[in-house]
A and B are shown apart, each in its own frame.
Chain A
């Protein structure tokens, strides 16, 4: 049975490459999810947009707690409570990179 993994992204400099890691697990036949917390992205490259689309095509998703990312990037909105519930379903939880300094 395919495993489920969820990445948590809390630092802007680590987020887009982290999504590439999430795609990497999707390619390995896992259900792979990511959540962008705290940080707003004005725009991202076509390469990174494609990575997000590929994650979605492989039955994963990239969520965000930030409204602007829903509007500008078309990401799926999620609340902190919903993240917690989602994490309960996961086999692997990846608090990715480093916590942003003003939230640690």
Chain B
């Protein structure tokens, strides 16, 4: 069985890598978790973001505090997410504890 992959995203520059790595991992049979923090929450506005959230075997969440502190209204949930995915830094802990491979982008 393919190893699982956790991606902690802190840069707003690399959506193409987030999407590219996630697609490649899923194609290999991996389960993927992506957590966006701080200014990377700007990536929720990218056209690719909703499609990333919809991918099978991919769990996407964002740091709600980061989203708010980056200038957004936490009640304005990005397309692709629901309220449960407006989360806390505990999601980063989940990536480290529960996923086989750790990446930061």
Contacts and interface: CB of A to CB of B under 8 A. Distances in A.
Direct A/B contact, Cβ within 8 angstroms: yes
Interface of A: 3, 5, 13-14, 17-18, 20-21, 23-25, 27-28, 30, 91-92, 94-98
Interface residues of B, number: 20
B104 A95 contact: yes
B89 A21 contact: yes
B10 A96 contact: yes
A98 B93 contact: no
A3 B96 contact: yes
Given A17-B69, A96-B10, A28 B97 contact: yes
B96 A18 contact: no
A13 B96 contact: no
Nearest to B11: A98
A8 B7 CA distance: 17
B37 interface: yes
A95 B92 CA distance: 14
A47 B42 CA distance: 24
A26 B93 CA distance: 9
Given A17-B69, A18-B10, A28-B97, A97 B92 contact: no
Interface in B27-60: 37-39
Nearest to B94: A28
Given A3-B97, A97-B11, A18 B38 contact: yes
Contacts of B8: 94
Contacts of B104: 94-96
CB-CB nearest 8 A-B residue pairs: A24-B89, A28-B93, A17-B38, A98-B11, A97-B10, A96-B10, A94-B104, A21-B89
